[in-house]
Amino acid sequence: MTEQIQAVIFDFGGVLIGWNPRNLYSRFFPEQPQAMEDFLAEISFMEWNAQQDKGRPFSEAIAELSQEFPHHAHLISAYYEYFKESVTGGIEGTIKLLQMLKEKNIPLYGLSNWSAETFAVVRHEFEFLNLFDEIIISGEVKLIKPEPEIFELCLQKIGKPASQCLFIDDSEPNIITARKMGFDTVHFISPEHLENELKIRQLL
């Protein structure tokens, strides 16, 4: 490492907050895990959901997909209706590390692919989100990782070069883009692994 880290950027889903649509859909597919997987694959759920992360309104998204898959309309609308059930809670080990960084007065930023509509539903439930100096939600800015533009926006907010910023994410494509842009990166595997990486960088 050639420069001291001046800011740490956290992804949310899978790093600080557990999220899994299967947690929600299991209520509709009791004891039918394969049927649930078939449904998610048939509607290309992850690709569909990514468009809401990029700013498409759920009303529009649900209407379009329900027209394409009318036999699944109730399941498609259920994702927004029961969204809270897809959020499995805070990841305590990572939250502890976030708090430790805050105590050391290290500037903290959130950079998450998340629909503005669904983030608003759960934001108040996670008090640790108040530890961030600023949070960038893809659905609010209508840019999405791993596109470079959202990383550029993040750097504008921070006011530091990428080489002075540590970016933490569980998605390898996001990590690859950030690394190409000059960020120091940690591909999140577990809180324990992250803690070790922070200690290596003398941030803890």
Sign (positive or negative) of CA dihedral 154, 159, 160, 165: negative
pLDDT for residue 141? 98
pLDDT for residue 3? 66
Please give the share of the chain, as a percent, with pLDDT higher than 90. 99
Query: In the chain, which stretches have pLDDT less than 70?
Result: 1-3
Distances from the Cα of 188 to the Cα of 31, 58, 168, angstroms: 31, 29, 6
Rg (CA), the chain: 18
Q: What integer best gives the mean pLDDT of the chain?
A: 97
Residue linked to tokens 């990166």: 185
Domain 7-16+91-200 matching CATH 3.30.70.2190: the answer reads no
CATH 3.40.50.1000 residue ranges in the chain?
Answer: 7-16+91-200
SS (H, E, C) the chain: CCCCCCEEEECCECCCEEECHHHHHCCCCCCCHHHHHHHHHHCCHHHHHHHHHCCCCHHHHHHHHHHHCHHHHHHHHHHHHCHHHHEEEECHHHHHHHHHHHHCCCCEEEEECCCHHHHHHHHHHCHHHHHCCEEEEHHHHCCCCCCHHHHHHHHHHHCCCHHHEEEEECCHHHHHHHHHCCCEEEECCCHHHHHHHHHHCCCC
Per-residue pLDDT tens over the stretch 37-79 = 999 999 999 999 999 999 999 999 999 999 999 999 999 999 9
pLDDT for residue 1? 42
Phi, psi of 108, deg, nearest 5: -120, 135
